[in-house]
Amino acid sequence: MEIKNAEFVSSHADVSKCPPPDKPEFAFIGRSNVGKSSLINMLTSRRNLAKTSGKPGKTQTINHFIINSNWYLVDLPGYGYASVSRDKRQGFGKMIEQYILKRENLYCLFILIDVRLEPQKIDLEFIQWCGSKEIPLCLVFTKADKLTRNQLNKNISVYSATLKRTWSELPSLLVTSATEKTGKDDLLLFIENALADNA
């Protein structure tokens, strides 16, 4: 698949105000500062489609982008400890849950994970929650360029082993680097296949 055009559609804190669920959606989510905006920009070949920031918690709304006029890429708020108030953090959780559970046109939720880190409790809990709700998901490891090949393979093996304690069958795993554009083709192929499978 080639992304020929990507345009901003809307930004809402209320799920009910999101665009009508008449097109397939692929949503991206992760802990604050996991590199989500950079990955979205790399995927779409647009430098500033998603706003990047050195300050965690930049995304505070559900942002829809229309891709090739036929599917939505959705940029979700990060979960975890962003530099926002406790009340807002709780609100993010509610907003995220409502989106994930109520959007019947959600084809896949891409959960982004910083591959440099050991498995984080909040990531594992979120993945487990999605699994319990039978949400179609794919784990996307980010920042692969920050590790040697051996470190990368070791960290992914540790993550897989950790998930296997509670998962009989692991979700799909993809490895990416926004800096080096690693994993772009794999991600786009995954989306293309999901669209074909649900056609």
Spatial CA neighbour of 30 closest among 79, 87, 67? 79
Percent with pLDDT over 90 in the chain: 72
Domains of the chain by start residue, with CATH: 6-197 (3.40.50.300)
Segment 97-118 shows an average pLDDT of 95
Instruction: Examine the pLDDT at 53 and tell me if it is beyond 60.
Output: no
Residue with tokens 């604050």: 32
Q: String of b and e for 34-57 (b: at least 16 CB within 10 Å)?
A: bbbbbbbbbbbebeebbebeeebb
- Per-residue pLDDT reduced to its tens digit, 39-50: 999 999 988 887
pLDDT band at 33 (very low <50, low <70, confident <90, very high): confident
Instruction: Report the candidate in 100, 95, 119, 120 with the shortest Cα–Cα distance to residue 110.
Output: 100
Beta strand pairing status for 25-30 and 106-114? parallel
**For residue 52, pLDDT beyond 50:** yes
